């Protein structure tokens, strides 16, 4: 089969199943339209279970994303935006821990930092911490670094990774 033959068959429209309803010889279950029936339950039950498991996992992931977003928004409202200017070292340490948690959630639910910036502006804090937004992870040759002279630098934050 050459490339022209492959292109011909790939561009052919999908055909309708041969049978309106196929069934399982072992359990007698009707499985809907298809080109062939099933001899054993394993042939139709496992794909159905895998599909159901995948749908449940997708629903769980969507629920977790929504819950993470709600937690992130609540923590942004409760955050001590002025912690970098704290005179008390314990208050400063608490702020660092709080914002480490916010940074980890921000990576999951607020990649562009829009919610973060809105909350920081609403707090009216003078030195509010900024979100970490990575625009590129391309290696940048700094020329003076030991080793190979190349490190990964986030262009937005200036931090190395």
According to the model, what pLDDT value does residue 75 have? Answer: 92
Domain extent, residue 146, equals: 133-161
| 5: in domain | no
Asked which of 95-109, 122-136, 143-157 is least confident by mean pLDDT, the reply is 143-157
| Number of neighbours of residue 59 by Cβ within 10 angstroms | 10
Q: Tell me, yes or no, whether 107 and 86 share the same domain.
A: yes
Q: For residue 139, what pLDDT band results from cuts at 50, 70 and 90?
A: low
How is residue 40 written in tokens?
Answer: 């054993």
Q: Tell me, yes or no, whether 125 and 100 share the same domain.
A: yes
- Please give the Cα distance from 157 to 49 (Å, whole number): 45
Residues 131-143 as b or e (16 or more Cβ within 10 Å = b): bbbeeeeeeeeee
According to the model, what pLDDT value does residue 73 have? Answer: 92
Instruction: Provide, rounded to the nearest whole percent, the portion of the chain with pLDDT above 70.
Output: 70
The model's pLDDT over 24-78, given as tens digits with 9 standing for 90+, comes to 888 888 888 888 788 888 777 766 667 778 888 888 888 888 999 999 999 999 9
According to the model, what pLDDT value does residue 70 have? Answer: 92
CB 36 within 8 A of CB 24: no
Q: Residues 84-89: what's their mean pLDDT? A: 88
Q: Is the pLDDT of residue 8 over 70?
A: no
| 107: in domain | yes
């Amino acid at each position: 089969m050459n490339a022209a033959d492959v292109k011909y068959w790939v561009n052919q429209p999908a055909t309708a199943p041969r049978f309106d309803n196929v069934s399982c010889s072992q359990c007698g279950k009707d499985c809907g339209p298809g080109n062939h029936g099933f001899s054993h339950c394993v042939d139709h039950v496992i794909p159905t279970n895998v599909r159901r498991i995948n749908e449940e996992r997708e629903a769980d992931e969507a629920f977790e994303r929504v819950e993470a977003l709600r937690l992130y928004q609540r923590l942004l409202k409760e955050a001590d935006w002025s912690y970098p200017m704290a005179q008390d070292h314990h208050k400063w340490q608490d702020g660092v821990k709080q914002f480490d948690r916010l940074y980890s959630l921000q990576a999951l639910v607020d990649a562009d930092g829009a919610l973060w910036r809105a909350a920081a502006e609403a707090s009216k804090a003078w030195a509010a911490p900024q979100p970490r937004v990575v625009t590129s992870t391309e290696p940048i040759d700094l020329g003076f670094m030991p080793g190979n002279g190349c490190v990964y630098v986030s262009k937005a934050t200036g931090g190395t990774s």
